[in-house]
Chains A and B, each alone.
Chain A
Amino acid sequence: MLKDYFPILVMLVMAVGFGVTMIFLSSIAGRKRPTATKESPYECGSIPVGTARIRFDVKFYLVAILFILFDLEVVFLWPWAVLFIERLGLFGLVEVAIFVGILLVGFVYAWRKGALEWQ
């Protein structure tokens, strides 16, 4: 029973080790030229201090919607990919091709209509 969890332990050790190593390496090898902006907490590009009642650009909304589209695509593709060889075969391939095809039309539509431009 415990043996089943061993790969997870290995994964955990590797992940933590990788992170720690990278931070350690960059702290001894990297150059440091701090400015006020660089020192401030990271807030995904928006100003970290000030009122929270600011107006967001409506363009974020479009990006969020497109994000959901492709996020969900992956959610559906993952179980398909796992079961593809054993269970689904050609039928699964056709089904997923239709699914991706519909998404692709939507994506090309959004692209051609300028939804990906930030102007």
Chain B
Amino acid sequence: MSNSAAQLAYLAPELVVAVGAVAVLALDILLPERSRRLLARATAAALLASLAAVWWLYAGEVAGRPERLFTGTLVRDGYSLFLDAVFLLAGILGALVSARYVDREGLQSGEYYALMLFAVLGMMLMAVSAELVTLFISYEILSLSVYVLSGIARGRAESAEAAMKYFLLGAFSSGFLIYGIALIYGATGTTALEAIGAAVMSRGLFGNSLLLIGMALVTVGFAFKVAAVPFHGWVPDVYQGAPLPVTAFMSAGVKAAAFGALARVLFTAFGSLSAVWQPALWLLALLTMVLGNTAAIAQTNIKRMLAYSSIAHAGYMLAGVAAYTAGDVALGSVLYYALVYTAMNIGAFAVVLVVGREGEGNQELSDYRGLAVRHPWVAAGMALFMVSLSGLPPTAGFLGKFYILNAALRANLIGLAVALVLASLISWYYYLRVVWLMYFIKPGEAPPTLSGAPSLRLAVGMAAVLVLILGLWPSAALNLAQVAALTVTAGGLPVIGRP
């Protein structure tokens, strides 16, 4: 028993979020109707407490040495701690941008915040999973919460449509994932990631078709969730139809969680098969970058534009995973990018929320005309996020892309690196168009009235500060990402080609 209690201490961040989620549900039925606003604060408090627990584990130097928990189903290492921090950041920013919106649109606040916390819990459990069945269950905790969240504005047909599409395609992708897991188990006789890696080596399963098909299916399952082309079909409709704060939260959080799990599975279990999956990821990354960026150009709705932009960013991160041969540099660049993307993307969505009106109004690009004249600070924030998303210095987006390029070049993926630069060039057009609209075009007849909720302003401010700090003084965060990556790659197996 004492042994279990000691192991639970390593899961303090996850436990805090779980308790918080149940507490929010309990508060929702205990509190009178008029004090439901407290729920947003309770959510933020739970997430902050969990972040403190992450910091406490970092201070206890857990990051450097992986700790296997509960007979090896979970592993607490720097990798999962870093990802936990990213998910919690997404959760905190997500809760901040939700507070005003949930009131205004009359959403079920208890369910909303509880589901948000459960989604964060699912992400965190995905990051600590060291075994495929646990990973799958965590993936489902995350997915089910997000399906419901995207349909929580029941009154709007688009929201219901988004939830339905997301649910059907998501269930389909879960099918791919669990089928792949079954085949991998059939080929290796284990679901533990490290044991799979060892079985591939010791039994020479390099050409085992069962294992290869299983690996492909698992990759497809995650490719759905990270929105990689050609598994991206659901993204524009779901991102546009879901309530705006939900889109902001899931575009960053779900993507980071899926990338975290995908990279851990590929690096830990299938490192010795990298000669097989590297070209596949190479192609996925290329398609995702090119299609995401070119389709974003044609959009007139800012939510839809950001949806395609999020597809494009999934492509950049896939390039980082594909650079497997660069080892911890590749994984570190993906982790760093996940952090940067969370800050800049939720920041951009927060500005869209500031400009937006009731019932998802004011979300056309034309609504941003002349924003800088009347609301210089809001426009400045948006300009910062757009510049960062397009990957120009001195912002975090530039450094994030720089490190992924660095990893791709070290892994000798010259073609992919060139494609990444070209794709970024395309993206300048539609990101900088927003800046141009805000600063150089005269405002329309109806000046936008802004939602000046303090929580929303705080979110924009926090995201902007993070984007600047991560762009100008990246060494601390980058160092953490590097340590985190090392805990996965150092324990991994040597890279060899297919015999």
Interface residue ranges, A against B (CB under 8 Å): 90-91, 102, 105-106, 108-109, 112-113
Contacts and interface: CB of A to CB of B under 8 A. Distances in A.
Interface string B97-121: 0000000000000100000000000
A108 B29 CA distance: 8
A94 B149 CA distance: 32
A113 B109 CA distance: 12
A109 B1 contact: no
Given A109-B28, A112-B29, A113-B29, A91 B1 contact: yes
17 contacts: A90-B1, A91-B1, A91-B4, A102-B22, A105-B22, A105-B25, A105-B26, A106-B25, A108-B26, A108-B29, A109-B25, A109-B26, A109-B28, A109-B29, A109-B110, A112-B29, A113-B29
A111 to B, nearest CB: 9
Interface residues of B, number: 8
Nearest to B5: A91
A2 B301 CA distance: 74
The 7 closest A-B pairs by CB, nearest first: A112-B29, A91-B1, A109-B25, A105-B22, A105-B26, A105-B25, A109-B29
A109 B110 CA distance: 10
Contacts of A90: 1
Interface in B2-49: 4, 22, 25-26, 28-29
A41 B26 CA distance: 44
A37 B25 CA distance: 45
A90 B4 CA distance: 13
B106 to A, nearest CB: 15
A91 B1 CA distance: 7
A90, A108, A109 — most chain B CB neighbours (10 Å): A109
- A-side binding surface: helix, strand, loop or mixed? helix
Contacts of B29: 108-109, 112-113
Nearest to B108: A113
Nearest to B110: A109
Contacts of B26: 105, 108-109
Contacts of A106: 25
A90 to B, nearest CB: 8
Contacts of B4: 91
A110 B372 CA distance: 47
Contacts of A108: 26, 29
Contacts of B25: 105-106, 109
A55 B335 CA distance: 48
Interface in B401-436: none
Contacts of B1: 90-91
A16 B22 CA distance: 46
Contacts of A105: 22, 25-26
A114 to B, nearest CB: 11
B131 to A, nearest CB: 20
A105 B4 CA distance: 25
A104 B203 CA distance: 48
Given A105-B25, A108-B26, 15 more contacts: A90-B1, A91-B1, A91-B4, A102-B22, A105-B22, A105-B26, A106-B25, A108-B29, A109-B25, A109-B26, A109-B28, A109-B29, A109-B110, A112-B29, A113-B29
A106 B111 CA distance: 11
B159 to A, nearest CB: 17
Contacts of A112: 29
A101 B25 CA distance: 13
A113 B28 CA distance: 10
Nearest to A90: B1
Nearest to B29: A112
A38 B311 CA distance: 61
Contacts of B22: 102, 105
A54 B222 CA distance: 37
A109 B27 CA distance: 10
A16 B1 CA distance: 46
A42 B485 CA distance: 62
A90 B26 CA distance: 26
Nearest to B114: A109
Contacts of A91: 1, 4
A90 B25 CA distance: 28
Contacts of A109: 25-26, 28-29, 110
B223 to A, nearest CB: 30
A102 B28 CA distance: 15
A106 to B, nearest CB: 7
Interface in B446-483: none
Contacts of B28: 109
B30 to A, nearest CB: 9
A96 B383 CA distance: 53
